[in-house]
Amino acid sequence: MVPQPATIPPPTPSSHSAPYWEAAARHELVYQRCDACKRAEFDPAVVCRRCGARALTWARSAGLGTVYSWTVVWRPQQPSFVVPYAPAIIDLDEGYQMLAAVIGCRVADLAVGLRVAVEFHPVADGFALPYFRPA
């Protein structure tokens, strides 16, 4: 499976997700950690989903994790999408999950517990998207 073409629509950052997209453009994976309860947060949030604190600090992720679950898409959402692609829930080593596509392997090689590492690929307007490749 391969990354999607750079012609896919770019993301639309919000005020609280802008630091994430700025880091992604530099090929850095970041997440938020609650200053009060220390919970790792992803997607970018304004308040901690566990304790409601507003003090969230951005932290850099090592970008390593394991596949928790996945599905394979054979009918693309947009004509420019290359199929098959495999959106997966990734358990990052820092203690949070994120949804991203797995690349660099065959569909038959996907498995729960597969170790993966983040890899960024550019899309339009200076944005980069995270993908995960077997580690």
Give the global pTM. Answer: 0.92
The residues spanned by each domain of the chain are 18-134
Task: Check residue 34 and give its pLDDT.
Answer: 98
Cα–Cα distance measured from residue 17 to residue 4, given in angstroms and rounded to the nearest whole number: 22
Rounded mean pLDDT for each run of 10 residues along the chain, 135 residues in total = 80 93 97 98 96 97 99 89 95 98 96 98 89 98
What single-letter DSSP state applies at residue 11?
Answer: P
Cα–Cα distance measured from residue 131 to residue 105, given in angstroms and rounded to the nearest whole number: 12
Q: Does domain 18-134 have CATH number 2.60.120.260?
A: no
